[in-house]
Chain A
Amino acid sequence: AQKITQTQPGMFVQEKEAVTLDCTYDTSDQSYGLFWYKQPSSGEMIFLIYQGSYDEQNATEGRYSLNFQKARKSANLVISASQLGDSAMYFCAMREGPTYNTDKLIFGTGTRLQVFP
């Protein structure tokens, strides 16, 4: 069965430092996608980065990069040069596909990141 695991309920990082948020997943499908979303205290869900199961290179978007290790089934988010505005909940998520009635998006339990000056 599809499953996402985030083992870090909370993380602290000093401003300008890098931080890694862990995510492992379980799926029997060969075709899937992995996502990270950010949820600030305002509650909105902000899409950060995506990695497809067939992508050979790790995804990067600005200060965000996804450390994809397929054999280990891990998809860790790396935030470089942390900023105070990065303080938020971070969710890892996965979609399997492309069969229509199994194309569901599931989430992990989240990691609360706090950036301090």
Chain B
Amino acid sequence: DVKVTQSSRYLVKRTGEKVFLECVQDMDHENMFWYRQDPGLGLRLIYFSYDVKMKEKGDIPEGYSVSREKKERFSLILESASTNQTSMYLCASSLYFGGGIEAFFGQGTRLTVV
């Protein structure tokens, strides 16, 4: 069974903390994505990666960075968490377009910054 696993379901962090959100997939997918989901705004793409050590900015990269040192793992980093980064974070993975169709999602991490 295909699987995308996010390290935490719920996180509470303090303003100014460095926060790591981890995502692991076991499908040997090339592409991995990080989104944040907010009511009324849908899923907004933060960063994506199409290969190890390769990354591209999405629509809202400010305040975030990412790391992909191994194919199966894609980390989202909040360098200095702020309250406006309180959100649901979703990780996804997929094959290259043309090699596969759908993206598979993790269960999400609900992050609260206080």
A interface residues with partner B (beta carbon < 8 Å): 6, 9, 31, 33, 35, 43-45, 47, 50, 91, 93, 95-98, 100-110
Could you say which of B50, B92, B94, B107 contacts A101, with CB atoms under 8 Å apart? B50
Q: 7 smallest A-B Cβ distances: which pairs? A: A97-B97, A109-B42, A45-B105, A107-B43, A47-B102, A98-B98, A100-B50
Known pairs A43-B108, A47-B104, A105-B103 / 15 extra A-B pairs, C-beta < 8 Å: A6-B42, A31-B97, A35-B101, A43-B107, A47-B102, A91-B43, A96-B97, A97-B98, A100-B54, A100-B96, A102-B56, A103-B97, A106-B59, A107-B42, A107-B44
State whether the Cβ of B74 lies closer than 8 Å to any Cβ in chain A: no
* B48 touching A108, Cβ below 8 Å: no
* B108 touching A104, Cβ below 8 Å: no
B window 23-64: CB within 8 A of A? 30-31, 33, 35, 40-45, 48, 50-51, 54, 56, 58-59
State whether the Cβ of B76 lies closer than 8 Å to any Cβ in chain A: no
Nearest B residue (CB) for A106:
B45
Query: How many chain B residues have a CB neighbour from A under 8 Å?
Result: 31
Could you say which of B42, B58, B90 contacts A104, with CB atoms under 8 Å apart? B58
Whole-angstrom distance between the Cβ of B36 and the nearest chain A Cβ? 11
